[in-house]
Structure 1
Amino acid sequence: MAADRRKLELYENLFKQLGPGDHRITIGSIAEHFQCSERHARTLLNQMETKQWLSWTPLRGRGMKGKLVCLQEPIEACYKEVEQATVEGNYDLAHRLIGFNNRNVASGLKQYLTHATTASEDTIFAPFHRKLSWLHPHHTMERTERHLIHEVFQTLVNFRGTELSGNLAHAWESDDEKINWVFYLRSGVVFHDQSPVTSNEVVESLKALTLSPYWRALYDHIADITSHAANQIQITLKHPDPHLPKLLSRAEASIMPKQFIYRAESHFKPIGSGPFMVDVSSEKLLRLKRNPNFCGQSALVEHIELWIHKEWAEDKKCAENFFFLSNEQVQYTASTSDIGYFFLLINNRALQNSSFQHSLERLFNDQLDSPIPCDRHVDFCFENNNENRWFSRKLVSALKQQNFTATGTQVVYGHPAPKQDLAIGGIRLEGDRTTSLIAFFKLYPYWQANLTWKQQDHLKHTLSAARSEADTSKQKQILDALLTWLHKNHVLTIIKSEDLCLSIPSRIRGVEINSIGWCDFSKLWIKQRIIRSH
């Protein structure tokens, strides 16, 4: 019956918004999800409750939030309806049910038959400690979200370790001056909604970075991005950049359908062309589902699920992430070093002296043996992770003991507060280290406030020299010298390097920890338990 298929579609749409588990919600909000009247929404809830898809406990009074519990996965609800239809011999209905929400019936039937005849583990779980921000490549700043961008979207090229490889582009070339670049796109690539990935989407996605109030400083050497032939992208630079492909491998350079580039969060959908699709996105759960139409190597597991509980934040360190399986006890760890740095930036020129700088260095390394040479109130900002919160508490406590106050403002990564005496934060080494350092220097917004004109000029010319240097070892030397120069001028101090470990159940294989602190989800697989017969 068409009504049964429609109920499945409405239930799945509700489930995708809320996820599994308990939810407090008004009947009005449910009616909005169902796009019907409140009276009809109550009828639908009763029918779905009868089918044991959900439970609904209303509260009396207009606008009161009842308790809604999603009991079944939508596909499981579908399979039970299909089983009932096949028992009754109604195979036409079974086919219609399998195709709910515009699913491919032929493919869906194969999946149903596989489900009906085998039972194997195909989901890897990861606990997470906070609500995830929206997965828009241009607005995502946090480390985990930027990793998820790489799983859902594709960039023109990939950079792993020390190697560049094709992604949406299968080849690229430039002129001898490294100013005119051409990228050749793979043909036949589609987004998760089955729309084609065209050169127009690539051009518009990258052009938006050059117009972005935040990102344009990093992409300010791009003069023009055009496409004059099918599956070809021309990028013209203002200045030479032999390492442009590395820049275009970063998360913000991901390609998306052009209609979503400038959408507000409430109207944005994370539709990419990467190895995983976003199946459920709620405050409690993010579920990624394998993209069967991915143009690269298909993911080895069907689902990756991030389960979210804010109380986990109290014990979460920047330096650790976790995977787990149901009923799995034995674990091992994979680790990496130098994925970033924690820094102290002294913005107030009156505090840019060696005694104050070295005193804070000793404080943050638990080596402070004398009072901090400071006789005034200090305003500072710090990024929102436990390590930086610890630095913040140390600073406030030390100055309080000297009868001075310090006011700290917590900020998200990459968005320091203005008019602060100090900034405590992180430099992330995502992918290529030199590109990441250039990104940090180009994107920090307050150099004009904490550097003299002469120092600003030196910074500008040094970054230009680093960007145009073809030799990677010389490029590294230029940037390391810049870090040393800023330290000697009492502007920037690297407090410590950032390492990371990943805890993994023993049966999860294919883990190669990356510079973002996760690993390539598409390469993960689960070693099945051996079931011994008696």
Structure 2
Amino acid sequence: MRLLNRLNQFQRLWLPSSGAPQQVTIADLAARCFCSERHVRTLLRQANEAGWLSWQAQSGRGKRGTLTFHTTPDALRNEMMELALNSGQQHNALELAQLAPVELRALLHPFLGGQWQNNTPTLRIPYYRPLEPLHPGFLVGRAEQHLAGQIHSGLTRFGRDTARPEGDLAHHWEVSADGLHWQFYIRSTLHWHNGDPIETRQLRQRLEMLLTLPGLRRLFASVEQIAQPHAQCLSFTLARPDYWLAHRLASYCSVLAHPDDPTLGSGPFQLKIFEPELVRLESHHRYHLGHPLLQAIEFWITPQLFEQDLGTSCRHPVQIAVGEAEELSQLRLVSNSISLGFCYLTFRQSSRLSKAQAQRVIALIHHSGLLQSLPVDENLITPSQALLPGWAIPPVPEDDTPLPPRLTLHYHLPVELHTMAEELKRALAQQGCELTLCFHDAKSWDDYPDLDQADLLMGDRLIGEMPEYTLEQWLRCDPLWPAILSESRYSALITALDAAQAQADETQRIAALKTIFTLLMEEGMLTPLFNYQYQISAPPGVNGIHLNARGWFDFTQAWLPPSTR
């Protein structure tokens, strides 16, 4: 990269005197820049023409000339970064930024948040970790789940205000009286991000590919056949009624990529760059619904900022700052809420741990003040009072049932569960129970080989746009449940879920699902621990930001006022 090389060379010239005028020979400068005398003269001439410095040579070989500087490496780096960004060279800007990781926070400051770059409204979000590939099916990260819904479309989508399914690629659908036949009528003016028209057969092909994934096969267990009765229609034939079908198709895991390219979608934003340091989305001008108000969204992946704390894009992954967060007091809190998602504790009822013993652990957690006194940021979590609003934790009888002498707890991310595990270990030790901790460095139980070795398991349950449906999906698809339940108990659980999904009336369907979860909590198999306090802060001028169920915001609604520059 020429800009980076020129900056490096300028910095080598500048450093010995920290920018003060220098009396130096051409030979000294060539040695400093690791190049020939002829080349260093070229460098001096170019830097002089750019206005970075002045070089006044003295006649005669070996004579000292005068080198005067008109800028600093930091100021020059900023200038180069702005030039790179205005020219659409995000990679060059990031490479320039990585030269000074210690000062990166201040360096990035002018370019974060909402900016008009080259007459393009752009929102830049510095982020604390590389993003995982957006492969079809289930994704474990909140950011990845959110991006999947911004890049891809499904047959249906969740309404912004009602959180109920509405048309997306399909403009509407019909259901037979017995609930076994569903017809989705496809819009006729759909386009992939590459400009090609979307063919209904491609959507059917991608749906059939999704159903080969084990998790999705469990999710759509009632689907027997997907057919294309005519050019703009897809029909689903079910083995048993499933009135969650439109919800399942609206979920992020069911969005439909091109069958030949999983990165090619039809959502409001198209994926232009997906690399460890930079993810860039650009608006899809042929999107079939309301067009985005922003032209581009960029994630600048700057993990070195978070080695000491979670500096720039968030104090914590659930507390996002659009722009520079070093001085959060200068940003405005534009949206906040208590997450419906929760961290949970589950129990394997076995000869090692009875129902009464599990209930005693639950009572200890919720009645001893353990959750209220966790040594974490008080503005980060809030102890759970219910699984969902209105789904209260059942009262647990407090008794003196002796606990087993030893138990094993397996848990995965988020990081707060480290603290929770240690506090629970101390609390159980006071009751004469030794708790062995096993940490699984992941965000889910997928492909975890030791599930059947645990007495207790702790994890995080993300909640999507419709919370009740998301919990149904959790029970049906997460490998946790067949691992902790006996074969007969798990079979009974699936039978109960099938009976609930057959309720055409949504109120009755949700009531049946609530009964299933209440029973799990009463049996001492599940208890929620705490919810997160989602926050998004943004600088003045970034508008239209409202928290969604995943703690993000709909990129299609964000906007910037016109540039005055």
If the length of structure 1 is used for normalisation, what is the TM-score? Answer: 0.71
Rounded Cα–Cα distance in structure 2 between residues aligned with 1:77 and 1:119: 8
Rounded Cα–Cα distance in structure 1 between residues aligned with 2:333 and 2:484: 45
**Is the CA contact 1:339–1:499 (under 8 Å) kept in the aligned structure 2?**
no
Rounded Cα–Cα distance in structure 1 between residues aligned with 2:498 and 2:543: 42
Matched, 1:389 2:392: no
User: Helix, strand or coil for the counterpart of 1:483?
Assistant: helix
**Is the CA contact 2:280–2:299 (under 8 Å) kept in the aligned structure 1?**
yes
Provide the residue aligned with 1:365 in structure 2: 371
Q: 1:356 aligns with which of 343, 354, 361?
A: 361
Q: What's the CA shift string for 1:354-385, capped at 9, x where partnerless?
A: 21332244575147999996444443332322
Provide the residue aligned with 1:187 in structure 2: 188
**CA 1:467 to 1:171, structure 2 compared with 1: closer, same or farther past 3 Å?**
same
Matched, 1:292 2:285: yes
Provide the residue aligned with 2:24 in structure 1: none
**Is the CA contact 2:336–2:547 (under 8 Å) kept in the aligned structure 1?**
yes
Which structure: greater helix fraction? 1
Q: How does 1:108-187 map to 2 (within 5 A)?
A: 120=119, 122-160=121-159, 161-162=161-162, 163-187=164-188
Letter in 1 for 2:228: S
Q: How does 1:437-476 map to 2 (within 5 A)?
A: 437-452=471-486, 455-476=489-510
Aligned length: 427
**Is the CA contact 1:127–1:307 (under 8 Å) kept in the aligned structure 2?**
yes
Matched, 1:500 2:534: yes
With 125-134 and 500-509 compared, the bigger mean Cα shift is at: 500-509
Q: How does 1:45-124 map to 2 (within 5 A)?
A: 73=84, 76=87, 120=119, 122-124=121-123
Provide the residue aligned with 2:96 in structure 1: none
Provide the residue aligned with 1:524 in structure 2: 558
Letter in 2 for 1:393: E
**Is the CA contact 2:414–2:460 (under 8 Å) kept in the aligned structure 1?**
no
User: Helix, strand or coil for the counterpart of 2:260?
Assistant: helix
User: Helix, strand or coil for the counterpart of 2:236?
Assistant: strand
Rounded Cα–Cα distance in structure 2 between residues aligned with 1:151 and 1:159: 13
Q: What's the CA shift string for 1:252-294, capped at 9, x where partnerless?
A: 1111111235xxxxxxxx2111111122222222111112222
**CA 1:121 to 1:461, structure 2 compared with 1: closer, same or farther past 3 Å?**
same
Provide the residue aligned with 2:227 in structure 1: 226
Provide the residue aligned with 1:281 in structure 2: 274
**Is the CA contact 2:333–2:537 (under 8 Å) kept in the aligned structure 1?**
yes
Q: What's the CA shift string for 1:76-130, capped at 9, x where partnerless?
A: 179xxxxxxxxxxxxxxxxxxxxxxxxxxxxxxxxxxxxxx99656111222211
**CA 1:462 to 1:118, structure 2 compared with 1: closer, same or farther past 3 Å?**
closer
Could you say what the CA RMSD is over the residues aligned between the two structures, in angstroms? Answer: 3.6
**Is the CA contact 1:128–1:312 (under 8 Å) kept in the aligned structure 2?**
no
Rounded Cα–Cα distance in structure 2 between residues aligned with 1:370 and 1:502: 43
Letter in 1 for 2:468: T
**Is the CA contact 1:125–1:325 (under 8 Å) kept in the aligned structure 2?**
no
Q: What's the CA shift string for 1:508-533, capped at 9, x where partnerless?
A: 111232111111101110124667xx
Q: How does 1:430-441 map to 2 (within 5 A)?
A: 430-441=464-475
Provide the residue aligned with 2:511 in structure 1: 477
**Is the CA contact 2:338–2:534 (under 8 Å) kept in the aligned structure 1?**
yes
Q: 1:271 aligns with which of 264, 267, 272?
A: 264
Q: What percent identity do the matched residue pairs reach?
A: 22
**CA 1:257 to 1:142, structure 2 compared with 1: closer, same or farther past 3 Å?**
same
Rounded Cα–Cα distance in structure 2 between residues aligned with 1:123 and 1:476: 41
User: Helix, strand or coil for the counterpart of 2:548?
Assistant: coil
Letter in 1 for 2:509: Q
**CA 1:358 to 1:317, structure 2 compared with 1: closer, same or farther past 3 Å?**
farther
Matched, 1:214 2:215: yes
Structure 2: stretches of 5+ with no match in the other structure: 2-6, 9-38, 48-76, 90-115, 375-397
Provide the residue aligned with 1:337 in structure 2: 338
**Is the CA contact 2:405–2:433 (under 8 Å) kept in the aligned structure 1?**
no
Rounded Cα–Cα distance in structure 2 between residues aligned with 1:288 and 1:233: 30
**Is the CA contact 2:204–2:234 (under 8 Å) kept in the aligned structure 1?**
yes
Q: Larger C-alpha radius of gyration, 1 or 2? A: 2
**Is the CA contact 1:158–1:165 (under 8 Å) kept in the aligned structure 2?**
yes
User: Helix, strand or coil for the counterpart of 1:379?
Assistant: strand
Provide the residue aligned with 1:92 in structure 2: none
**CA 1:407 to 1:150, structure 2 compared with 1: closer, same or farther past 3 Å?**
same
Letter in 2 for 1:298: H
